[in-house]
Amino acid sequence: MGEFKKLLDKYNGKDFHFDSIQVMSAGDRDPDSDSVTGMSATKMRQAAVKGDFLTFKRGLPSSLREIDAKRLMNDVRVGLKLDNIKESVNNKINTTREKYFQGLIFNVGDTVESIIGEQFEVVKRGTNNILCKDTDGNIHNKWIYEIHEVNDAR
């Protein structure tokens, strides 16, 4: 701590101007610990190099938002001449919707069944819905997740 105080006093009044400078310890470090007491700037840089966000985040204040912590880790990586880490978006694939768009299910003329057991004939395909008619000839609009094909093994 004495080295920090000496260095700060050396530049006070030249590069910056403070009325007084007080250096305080943040507490003892345990370099062998996996908790925050073992965290150091070196360990944080190593975590940034490895792309280990969870380890990097342990060295940051808990009040820091996750998005800001990720930005900070990427800033450290850029400072170390490394590429940013980009997150991929994992979209769940809805197989019913995919089959529908491929024209594999719910085609005009197919018989479909609602979730309450009513049967309909598909008369028109929409974007995420179908128009279908019941046995009396009445037209109904059904969302594709509300129906299944009669020959569908559910």
Cβ distance 52 to 34 under 8 Å? no
pLDDT value of position 17 = 83
What's the rounded Cα separation, in Å, for the pair 65 and 12?
33
Q: Residue 154 pLDDT > 50, yes or no?
A: no
Among 25, 87, 5, 19, smallest CA distance to 51 is for: 87
pLDDT in tens, 73-91: 999 999 999 999 888 777 7
Give, for 79, the enclosing helix (H) or strand (E): helix 66-79
pLDDT value of position 126 = 95
pLDDT value of position 34 = 64
Terminal CA-to-CA distance of the chain, rounded, Å?
Answer: 71
Domains (range + CATH), the chain: 2-79 (no CATH), 95-149 (2.30.30)
How confident is the model over 2-19, as a mean pLDDT?
Answer: 82
pLDDT in tens, 103-141: 999 999 999 999 889 999 999 999 999 999 999 999 999
Q: φ, ψ for residue 111 (rounded to 5)?
A: -95, 130
pLDDT value of position 40 = 84
What six digits make up the tokens of 61? 């204040």
What's the rounded Cα separation, in Å, for the pair 112 and 126?
15
Average pLDDT of the chain, as a whole number: 87
